[in-house]
Amino acid sequence: RGTDGQQAAGRRDVAHPGLQRATAQRGLARGVVPGLARGFAPEPQGYQHLYSCAPLVGGCLDVGAGFCLPHSKEQVPELCLWLCFQSPEGSYDLNSNDPDPMPHPDEENGNHHGTRCAGEIAAVPNNSFCTVGVAYGSRIAGIRVLDGPLTDSMEAIAFNKHYQINDIYSCSWGPDDDGKTVDGPHQLGKAALQHGVIAGRRGFGSIFVVASGNGGQHSDNCNYDGYANSIYTVTIGAVDEMGSMPFYAEECASMLAVTFSGGDKMMRSIVTTDWDLQKGTGCTEGHTGTSAAAPLAAGMIALMLQVRPCLTWRDVQHIIVFTATKYEDRHAKWDTNQAGFSHSHQHGFGLLNAWRLVNAAKIWESVPYLASYVSPALKEGRSIPLLPQELEATWNVSSADLQLSGMRTLEHVAVTVTITHPRRGNLEIRLFCPSGMMSLIGTTRSMDSDPNGFADWTFSTVRCWGEEAQGTYRLVIRDTGDESLRPGTLKQWQLTLYGSSWSPAEMKERQRLLEEAMSGRYLDSNFSLPCPPGLEIPEEQHYTVTANTLKTLLLLGCFAVFWTFYYMLEVCLTRNNVGFDLSCSGSTACRWYPHGGKHRALENGLEMEAVPLYREKEAEEGEVECEQLQPAQEDGGEEGSWTPTHPKAPPSSRAAGCHEAAPAAAGYLGREAAAELLSEGREHQAC
């Protein structure tokens, strides 16, 4: 997610040694906002800890990443100097269905987006060429998935690809940031995210880091992005070097934190690796957008996992909430909730600080199991009035409701709504937790003129983190439109709470312990908490349903349908040309319609000619009338033999009738017996 609809900012020539660039990158915020410098320039006693990350594997889900691959060493040897330690066993190209994630040249923007994001995480140090990664000792895996049509199946496979090898998935992409799109992962993608946090990383859970989006100039909000408002992801926004919200950044109640990125043209952007194909130089000073912010967060999380590999996906979220730095910004409005956490829609819980994150991870004990509560679907069917009036719906969660799950304190709160409205962008949706903490989960968007409203869309918030779950929740909806449009309707809504059995007192005690750890004494000592062993979960085998595969299946399906119709038509035409249609009227008379003249069938080598039955006479044009055949048991004939019902039928007619009845007789007596009778000239016995 780069700015201005591009995947990343433009390229610039290399003019400075790599050490100077790395120093400039770490010092983006030095001397600008008090207390922020530690995030990029840690205290001396912690330097060796923060910048010597063990070989964890981070996966970049993107258009691909330029690695030092065997076939490219001679062509671009500098790749080996400045990029990162590749993890070929964790990489894959879902677009081409091969293990090489190398991006293909693109005339529009060079397809350098994944390479730039990878360099922020794991670019090697002391390369004398470009920059150094936040977790430069880690290995990076590339999963190429965005360089072509993206299906739900491909996305799901990307989220779980090599999830026992890759620990962190950095995703700097999402739906269109155009101020009118409401989209997110579909059914398979949602299931893959949930499966990843349950079974990934040997049972501790894959860490999914996503960019909040670049639709700020279009009044977009990341709660309309299903990746950013998922409870399974770490949603990261951006601030510029002054600590302010850039023009492209989106506000969001589900955003956890922010990291640095570029701002306007007069401000510095992120220095990172670039490919050297086309006009690329191998290094850029122009990486920006929330695409640049999310990989920095992924690198800091890699540092956390170095000191404590058994952190679960929820442990990572909790540590971010507990340690993110609140700071003054005249454009941000901070609110402190009942548990003492400060959050703003512009910056989440604050700026990520690598020093604080690693110190907290060192002493962190895992949180209790995830507990959840889901209310019944609340049918409303009420109209949404225009401002200044508003629609309010409430639901009370009692202690008895929470008793089964054991939930006491909140983490994520989600609301799923079905709303009809002639212009969706006119709606403003707010959620109030029992403490009174307000979350603006749905903002007005001037460019969103969709007439279909919301169909089971889920909004979420983290602003009530740590608060007590019991109490009354209020959903308030406003219509900022005018009277020229018909009013919208809240059809139904459903409340979902996620949290744990932690009590408010236990939450406070954990906060106190982490503040004590910020001195660094645990990091400098040999203190360590035991880590439980991970689970032995086998790598899953996936089959990628690519766009080409879907096209092939579609062509095969069309061919099968065409062949079916062709075969049915051939059968119908054949029956019409060679068969007889039997039409009976009354109880005794029947009519045979010969369509194809004579019909010859081969029965045990004997040709039998189909001729009309019995007393031939012209009934109508093209018709032959006959008497119905019946069993002749009354005349003493053997059971199963057949004689004509007309007593005066001449022998010639009977002989002719036997020719016609021969195929039926052959089926009744047996083919060999019928053939023998016919060969002896005893046609009437064959009948």
Q: In whole angstroms, what is the distance from residue 243 CA to residue 347 CA? A: 10
Catalytic residue among 49, 93, 112, 113: 113
Angstrom distance (rounded) from CA 309 to CA 302: 9
CA gap 171, 233 in Å, rounded: 10
575-581 long-range contacts (CB < 8 A, ≥24 apart) are 580/610
To 5 degrees, how large is the angle CA 463–CA 5–CA 273? 90
Query: Tokens 């983190």 appear where?
Result: 465
Tokens standing for residue 671: 């083919």
Q: Is 345 a catalytic residue?
A: no
- Neighbour-count burial for 568-599, b at 16+ CB within 10 Å, e otherwise: eeeeeeeeeebebeeeeeeeeeebbebeeeeb
CA 299 to the chain's CA centroid: 24
Nearest of 430, 422, 425, 423 to residue 391 by alpha carbon:
430
* Both structure tokens of 364: 């962190």
**Residues paired with 499 in a beta bridge:** 371, 410
Q: Respond yes or no: is residue 291 known to be catalytic.
A: yes
Instruction: Tell me the HSE value of 376 on the side-chain side, using a 13 A CA sphere.
Output: 5
Residue 62 among the catalytic residues: yes
CA dist., res. 46 & res. 217, Å (int): 39
Given a contact cutoff of 8 angstroms between Cβ atoms, the answer to whether 227 and 184 are in contact is: yes
Q: What's the one-letter identity of residue 418?
A: T
Q: Are 227 and 188 in contact (CB under 8 A)?
A: no
Whole-angstrom Cα distance, residue 540 to residue 542?
A: 6
Which residue reads 């398979």 in tokens? 188
Biggest distance spanned by C-alpha atoms of the chain: 124
Is residue 319 a contact partner of residue 411, using CB atoms and an 8 Å limit?
Answer: no
Q: 257 with 323: CB under 8 angstroms?
A: no
Catalytic residue selected from 91, 172, 244, 291: 291
Beta-sheet pairing, 139-144 with 233-239:
unpaired
Structure tokens belonging to residue 649? 């039928």
Distances (CA, A) of 541 to 93, 142, 162, 443: 15, 18, 9, 41
| Residue of 215, 175, 171 lying closest to 193 (CA atoms) | 171
Picking from 7, 287, 250, the residue whose alpha carbon sits closest to that of residue 133 is: 287
Q: What share of the chain is helix, strand, coil (3-state, %, to 5)?
A: 30, 25, 45
What span, in angstroms and rounded, lies between the C-alpha atoms of 329 and 472?
32
CA dihedral 347, 350, 354, 359 (to 10 degrees): -150
* Helices and strands in the chain, H and E counts: 16, 28
| Catalytic entry in 49, 62, 230, 287 | 62
Q: Which residues contact 502 (CB under 8 A, 6 or more apart)?
A: 367, 368, 408, 409, 510
Backbone angles phi, psi at 78, to 5 degrees: -65, -20
> What does DSSP say about strands 642-644 and 629-631: parallel, antiparallel, or unpaired?
antiparallel
Q: Which residues are catalytic?
A: 62, 113, 291
